[in-house]
Amino acid sequence: MQNGAGITASKDGLDGISWNVVGHTYTPKVHSTNAFIWHAVVPADTFVPPHIHPTQDEWIVMLEGELEVEMGGNVHKAGPGDTVRMPMGEAHGIFNRSGKTATCVFGVAPARKLFDLFGALNGVTDPEELVRLSALHEVDFLPPPDQA
């Protein structure tokens, strides 16, 4: 394990790291070749647009609040204690439409390039740059639906 044995305190991120990614606060808790796990604070009315991890399985364990996950043509609601499973290659988008902040723990396996992607995306607000950087790190955002 790249972090070594030990405990990452609830208020801390690895090496004091915390990122602002798409308006969410991501705090890394575990990072190894095999897995990457981070705590997330997801404010109301924020989202991660639909995207695909072609090389990773992803999951979310809900702590507080509610998220909606769009995948497979359906909207799935997740609340405290629920676990969302997003298999490798499955397009998914994550939305907080609840009106309240949600907190959760995300994970991916294997870790691949996601830890480095979050460092690169920290504070990025330009959607085109977010898509470009993500593609370089094995996350493929889907094009927005056609405006009718």
DSSP 96: -
DSSP 3: S
Using an 8 Å Cβ cutoff, are 66 and 77 in contact? Answer: yes
Question: Rounded to an integer, what distance in angstroms lies between the CA atom of residue 13 and that of residue 137?
Answer: 21
Q: 115-125 b/e with 16+ CB inside 10 Å = b?
A: bebbebbeebe
Per the DSSP assignment, residues forming a β-bridge with 60 are: 84, 106
Q: Which residue has the tokens 């497979």?
A: 72
Using an 8 Å Cβ cutoff, are 63 and 104 in contact? Answer: yes
First to last CA, the chain: 49
CA angle 69–64–123, rounded 5-degree value: 70
Predicted local distance difference test score (pLDDT) of residue 146 = 56
Predicted local distance difference test score (pLDDT) of residue 4 = 78
Residue numbers in the chain where pLDDT is lower than 50: 147-148
What pTM was estimated for this model as a whole?
0.93
Predicted local distance difference test score (pLDDT) of residue 14 = 93
Predicted local distance difference test score (pLDDT) of residue 148 = 40
Q: For the chain, list the domains and their CATH numbers.
A: 15-136 (2.60.120.10)
